[in-house]
Chain A
Amino acid sequence: MANAATREAIEAVWRIESARLLGGLVRVVRDVGLAEDLAQEALVTALERWPESGIPDNPGAWLMATAKNRAIDQLRRAQMAERKHDALEHDAALDATTTTRADPEAALDEDVGDDLLRLVLIACHPVLSTEARAALTLRLLGGLTTDEIARAFLVPEPTIAQRIVRAKRTLAEARVPFEVPRGDELAARLPSVLEVIYLIFNEGYAATRGEEWMRVDLCEDALRLGRILVGLVPDEAEVHGLVALMELQASRARARVGPSGEPILLLEQDRSRWDQLLVHRGLGALARAESLGRPLGGYTLQAAIAACHARARTAADTDWHRIVALYDALVELTRSPVVELNRAVAVGMAFGPAAGLELVDALVEEKLLASYHLLPSVRGDLLAKLGRNDEARREFERAAAMAQNARERQLLLARARACAATAQPS
């Protein structure tokens, strides 16, 4: 039985090694489910042996060798196709000569990048639902347990377990190819990956459900995935754009939560609490995205908007005209009513609340925004600025009724009360 300290050390090794271990195994056995089983068996073996033997000098190579030996055993037992067997033995022999020397550098084998890219593309394959992709990505790339993923998404553990099992079955049935695509084909697969990473980030950043307004761990997991992806496909502008966006948004994390957990809106935040290291990283990533070519993609444009806020020393210094121009480009690109709503907010700041309200009123009939609480919330804000407090109060109350996050609901109700107080001075 592992003592607590060794167990924690093994968990740490697992966090570092599991993705490349899985990546290597998927390359060889070409089956995500089997690869995961083999990796898990290697982990169990480590948990049994390392407390006695100590953690090996090159734990990654040890885990890989153990998993591959299991794979060979299994393939022998199952008398699988001779060709596949040879390939596997050849591969294991190759690795034994290159990586089991107790030399940490040898662990960095040239295929690792490809292995991880293959893994991320499979986990985010378009045949899977976005939810399944998110769960599988956190599991395979992020090294999270099913239980951790379930807690992150606030759903019961069996739901996530089932989602992952089904996802693996879907991948097997769809005979998803294991070759890593190149060039345009690779570029075509990336949006699906970026979408999943940003979904994970947003689930942490603007928790749609539950009591907490933010779940920082999930943001960090998403950021880590984004930073890894940048290393895998360094020439893709939008990958840098997404990382820039996440770094800049995460830089405000500790300023956007009040002392009792309530949300604090961007313009009211104490900017001295913004994380300047992440701001710096975000601006750097944005510069790289912009240098990789135009027109700018959707994530890069959003990052550029976030950068306008990051560069402004005070809320009053914000360059709203530039933000409106960036939203113009984003509306053009996405044709999304949510983006149009955000543009209306920026217009309200740049050209006055009446101009903003005019744009929001044009969106009221929009079906896609029918249950979107931020529409009445934005409308309420603009009405309040125009001194139409009674109408504003009604909009905030409507928004509160639609909001699913408890903290956000409280904030909206507080604004409604403030409007009521101003509307009927005692």
Chain B
Amino acid sequence: MRVMVLVPGDKDSEAGKMPSEELLAKMMKFNEELVKAGVMLAGDGLTPTSKAKRVRFSGGQRTVIDGPFTESKELVAGYWIWQVKSIDEAVEWLKRAPFDGGVEVTIRPVFDPEDFGRELTPELRAKDERLRAEVERQRSS
């Protein structure tokens, strides 16, 4: 399974303050371990929201909002994408990351459309096939 690991932002990351050399070194080492274990698919740090933009959708209207954004609890400062056998494996990996200070890092399993296809019960599948057939009929009529 694939998971996304979301690292929240804080005052320092929002101020564009770089982590200490020591922490960077630890983080690099942790990343290296993830790569060597064949777990890491991707990962990046994100710039402060002062460089971000938002688009608000309302009816037909699109409003562009410039950063910075203040509700820092919901902000993401970095992410990883990992390939793991189970979410428990992701938890065990994450426990080894060099975070501190009460920060809460979230693991979210990525939704796999293929899994969805397989989880369909025979009844749902039959319904899905009837729907498809209906769409086909409408298209050809």
Q: Which residues of A contact B (CB under 8 A)?
A: 8-9, 11-13, 15-16, 59, 104-105, 107-108, 113, 216, 220, 223-228, 231, 253-254, 257, 259-260, 273, 277-278, 281
Inter-chain contact A277/B81, CB cutoff 8 Å: yes
Inter-chain contact A260/B112, CB cutoff 8 Å: no
Chief secondary structure at chain A's binding surface: helix
Inter-chain contact A12/B29, CB cutoff 8 Å: no
Query: Most chain-A Cβ atoms within 10 A of its Cβ — which of B29, B37, B92?
Result: B92
Inter-chain contact B41/A228, CB cutoff 8 Å: no
Query: A243 — nearest CB in chain B belongs to which residue?
Result: B38
Distance between A299 CB and nearest chain B CB, rounded to angstroms: 17
Query: A260 — nearest CB in chain B belongs to which residue?
Result: B125
CA distance A11 to B88 in the complex (A): 8
Chain B positions 81 through 96: 1 when the CB is less than 8 Å from some CB of chain A, otherwise 0: 1010110110111001
Inter-chain contact A277/B92, CB cutoff 8 Å: no
8 Å CB contact of B113 from A9, A228, A273: A273
The reply on B15 being an interface residue by CB < 8 A is: no
Query: B92 — nearest CB in chain A belongs to which residue?
Result: A12
Chain B positions 50 through 88: 1 when the CB is less than 8 Å from some CB of chain A, otherwise 0: 000000000000000000000000000000010101101
Query: A232 — nearest CB in chain B belongs to which residue?
Result: B36
| Contacts A105-B26, A108-B29, A231-B35 given; does A216 touch B89 at CB 8 Å | no
Contacting residues, chain A, for B36 (C-beta < 8 A): 113, 228, 231
| Contacts A16-B89, A105-B26, A259-B128 given; does A254 touch B113 at CB 8 Å | yes
Contacting residues, chain B, for A16 (C-beta < 8 A): 37, 89, 92-93
CA distance A346 to B113 in the complex (A): 31
Query: Most chain-B Cβ atoms within 10 A of its Cβ — which of A220, A225, A226?
Result: A220
The reply on B114 being an interface residue by CB < 8 A is: yes
CA distance A278 to B98 in the complex (A): 27
8 Å CB contact of A259 from B29, B39, B96, B117: B117
Contacting residues, chain A, for B86 (C-beta < 8 A): 8, 11-12, 15
Distance between A279 CB and nearest chain B CB, rounded to angstroms: 12
CA distance A225 to B83 in the complex (A): 12
CA distance A113 to B26 in the complex (A): 19
CA distance A113 to B32 in the complex (A): 12
Contacting residues, chain A, for B35 (C-beta < 8 A): 227, 231
Give me 14 A-to-B residue pairs in the complex whose CB atoms sit less than 8 angstroms apart, sorted by A's number.
A11-B88, A12-B91, A12-B92, A16-B37, A59-B92, A105-B26, A107-B96, A113-B36, A253-B114, A254-B112, A259-B128, A260-B129, A277-B41, A281-B41
Contacting residues, chain B, for A254 (C-beta < 8 A): 112-114
Inter-chain contact B83/A224, CB cutoff 8 Å: yes
CA distance A277 to B32 in the complex (A): 19
Inter-chain contact B96/A104, CB cutoff 8 Å: yes
The reply on B42 being an interface residue by CB < 8 A is: yes
The reply on B134 being an interface residue by CB < 8 A is: no
CA distance A12 to B87 in the complex (A): 9
- 9 A-B pairs with the lowest CB-CB distances in the bound complex, closest first: A227-B38, A12-B88, A224-B38, A231-B36, A12-B89, A254-B114, A12-B92, A228-B38, A8-B88
| Contacts A16-B89, A16-B93 given; does A216 touch B38 at CB 8 Å | no
CA distance A11 to B93 in the complex (A): 13
Query: B90 — nearest CB in chain A belongs to which residue?
Result: A12
Inter-chain contact A9/B38, CB cutoff 8 Å: no
CA distance A59 to B91 in the complex (A): 13
Contacting residues, chain B, for A9 (C-beta < 8 A): 88, 91-92
CA distance A13 to B88 in the complex (A): 8
| Contacts A277-B41, A281-B41 given; does A15 touch B91 at CB 8 Å | no
Inter-chain contact A13/B92, CB cutoff 8 Å: yes
Inter-chain contact B114/A257, CB cutoff 8 Å: yes
CA distance A254 to B33 in the complex (A): 29
Inter-chain contact A15/B38, CB cutoff 8 Å: no
Distance between B40 CB and nearest chain A CB, rounded to angstroms: 9
Distance between B120 CB and nearest chain A CB, rounded to angstroms: 8
8 extra interchain contacts, Cβ-Cβ under 8 A, other than A12-B86, A224-B38, A253-B114? A12-B91, A16-B37, A16-B89, A107-B96, A113-B36, A224-B37, A231-B35, A281-B41
8 Å CB contact of B83 from A59, A107, A113, A223: A223
Contacting residues, chain B, for A220 (C-beta < 8 A): 83
8 Å CB contact of A226 from B38, B81, B85, B114: B38
Distance between A205 CB and nearest chain B CB, rounded to angstroms: 14
| Contacts A8-B88, A104-B96 given; does A216 touch B41 at CB 8 Å | no
CA distance A107 to B36 in the complex (A): 13
CA distance A281 to B93 in the complex (A): 22
Query: A257 — nearest CB in chain B belongs to which residue?
Result: B114
